[in-house]
Amino acid sequence: MTQFVPQPLDESTYHRHLAQTRALALVLFTGPDCGTCRVVERNLPESAPPDTQLFKVDVQVASALARAFEVFHLPTLFLYVDGHYHARLNCQVTPPALRAAIEHALQQPAEEEP
């Protein structure tokens, strides 16, 4: 079952938490005033593949992290595999679309972390 970790990640916890994560992890960069972000956050647990770890970053709290990852549009999703950055995902957050985007990304070589 997918687990949603509601504690926000910030500059001091981001890399440490993700480095300890095994298997797939999705990181949602979100904002408090973003209606689309709230919808995506609500849909993410049921849309992600089973056993995917889910994290979120509030860009208002962790603005330096958002700048470092070149997050200019919200919401933004990043895929990690075994604690390592793999790709930015650009897709709808529905079960078929998200799973297809993850499958496609996993068939590609890992990208460099922004």
Q: pLDDT for 2-51, tens place per residue? A: 545 455 799 999 999 999 998 899 999 999 899 999 999 989 999 999 98
pLDDT at 69 over 90: yes
| φ, ψ at 49 (rounded to 5°) | -60, 155
Instruction: Give the angle subtended at the CA of 36 by the CAs of 45 and 58, to the nearest 5°.
Output: 75
- Residue 4 has a pLDDT of 54
> What pLDDT sits at residue 77?
97
User: Cα 81 to the chain's mean position, in Å?
Assistant: 11
Q: Which two tokens stand for residue 112?
A: 């460099």
Provide the pLDDT for residue 8. Answer: 77
Checking if the pLDDT of 66 tops 80, the result is yes
The confidence score (pLDDT) of residue 5 equals 45
The model's pLDDT over 80-112, given as tens digits with 9 standing for 90+, comes to 999 999 999 999 999 999 999 999 999 999 999
Q: What is the mean pLDDT of residues 52-59?
A: 93
Closest CA to 113 of 90, 86, 91: 86
Burial class from Cβ neighbours inside 10 Å (0-12, 13-18, 19+) for residue 34 reads middle
With vertex at residue 52, the alpha carbon angle to CA 72 and CA 95, rounded to the nearest 5 degrees, is 75
Which residue segments constitute the domains of the chain, with CATH numbers given? 3-106 (3.40.30.10)
